[in-house]
Amino acid sequence: MFSAQSISKRYGAVQALDDVSLDLAPGEVVALVGDNGAGKSTLVKVLSGVVIPDQGHIRKDDLPVRMSTPHDAQQLGVATVHQDLALCENLDVVANLFLGAERSRFSVLRPIRMERAARDLLASLDVRIRDIRVPVAMLSGGQRQSVAIARALVADPRVVILDEPTAALGVEQTAQVLDLIRRLRDRGLAVLVISHNLADVRAVSDRIVVLRLGRNAGEFRTAETTPEAVVAAITGSTVGEIA
């Protein structure tokens, strides 16, 4: 459904991406892993329209598309949840969900309609927040991550990119976010998860794509591979050396 093909990007003397390809399909969770400096962040920026690649192209439904701004990516159905979440902590859940996409009629906001839509959206994702009118600052880390993911779904995307969704979360909160990722897959969305945590990756992904030094270093079906094989691809060693 959505793919990046032969993507290259250079920053001065640094080759951030070198002929990288990635395919995303509906109803599938793909994990993008790699060491620091592997090119994951740059590839995410390309897929979300923040960075224009020097070479290569993006295809959607097997047709070439051009993304030069994040708005272009959103118009193509790509939603990105960055690691910093970009939530307004002084605003409540409803205001955060519809920030920049407020429901109005004749230029008058419709708060009741937005609240109902927020409750329906959170319920469909099985996100449990006792009071959606409290400031986001009062929510737990897992709840904030859930709000950020739910906000991405307001525009009804087809592709959701999650950058380190379980970073700095406790065990229970991590489990909640992983369950939410599975529900995104069950909704038929293509989900790309960037993570350093291989345990989380194995728990939720269908495929694992490895980047190393800005290049594709391996691709695995999660159910058919081992952690040692993935680590070997990340580090450039062999499975025997890891063992």
The pLDDT tens digits of the residues spanning 12-49 come to 999 999 999 999 999 999 999 999 889 999 999 999 99
- CA angle in degrees (0–180, nearest 5) for 85-144-77: 50
Identify the band that residue 240 occupies on the pLDDT scale cut at 50, 70 and 90.
low
At residue 243, does pLDDT exceed 60? Answer: no
- Residue 86 pLDDT grade (very low, low, confident, very high; cuts 50, 70, 90): confident
Please determine, for residue 188, whether its predicted confidence score (pLDDT) is greater than 60.
yes
Helices (H) and strands (E) in the chain, counts: 9, 12
Beta bridge partners of 215: 212
Instruction: Please give the pLDDT value at position 43.
Output: 95
CATH topology (fold) of 2-87+158-242: Rossmann fold (3.40.50)
Confidence band for 63, pLDDT divided at 50, 70 and 90: very high
Q: In angstroms, rounded to a whole number, what is the distance separating the alpha carbons of residues 142 and 75?
A: 28
For the cut 60, the answer to whether the pLDDT of residue 166 exceeds it is yes
Specify the pLDDT at position 242. Answer: 47
Give the pairing type, strands 207-212 and 28-33.
parallel
State the pLDDT at residue 17: 96
Q: What is the pLDDT of residue 171?
A: 87
The domain spans of the chain are 2-87+158-242
CB count within 10 Å of CB 181 equals 22
Two tokens, residue 105 = 């009629």
DSSP string, 51-91: S--SEEEEEETTEEE---SHHHHHHTTEEEE-TTTT--TTS
Checking if the pLDDT of 3 tops 90, the result is yes
* Cβ-contact 89, 102 below 8 angstroms: no
Q: Is the per-residue pLDDT at 207 higher than 90? A: yes
**pTM, full prediction:** 0.89
